[in-house]
């Protein structure tokens, strides 16, 4: 699925705009499993985005879960490098796959 078509569907169904970090933030909330809160600190937002990236990139073998931090967050270790020029394209594909699997977006 094309990214623009996907983000149009995402906006129609959930009101989420096409900013990749916003989408990663929402995936992080889903993966953390504690539900949406009205306010997040900057650190919490970054933790949720990191959780989403780790979860997504684990599926393609870039990362692997490596335990849990003292405050209960999953930790990931890098298994292979990602070409920085291709990282957003890889994440976009994985985001689309994630929403197809978990959020019923076709």
Secondary structure letter of residue 75 according to DSSP: E
Beta bridge partners of 68: 74
pTM of the model: 0.87
Residue pLDDT, tens place only, 35-85: 778 899 999 999 999 999 999 999 999 999 999 888 888 899 999 999 999
1: Cα separation from own chain's centroid: 17
Output the six-digit token pair for 47.
């933790």
What is the helix (H) or strand (E) element at residue 97, kind and residue range?
A: helix 87-102
CA 73, CA 88: separation in Å to the nearest integer?
24
CA 51, CA 2: separation in Å to the nearest integer?
24
Q: Which domain holds residue 68?
A: 3-102
The domain tally of the chain equals 1
């Amino acid at each position: 699925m094309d990214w623009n078509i996907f983000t149009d569907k995402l906006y129609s169904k959930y009101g989420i705009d096409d900013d990749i970090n916003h989408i990663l933030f929402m995936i992080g909330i889903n993966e953390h499993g504690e539900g949406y809160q009205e306010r997040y600190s900057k650190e919490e937002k970054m933790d949720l985005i990191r959780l989403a990236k780790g979860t997504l990139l684990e599926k393609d073998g870039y990362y692997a879960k490596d335990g849990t931090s003292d405050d209960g967050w999953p930790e990931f270790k890098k298994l292979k490098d990602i070409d920085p020029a291709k990282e957003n394209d890889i994440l976009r594909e994985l985001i689309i796959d994630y929403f197809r699997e978990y959020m019923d977006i076709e």
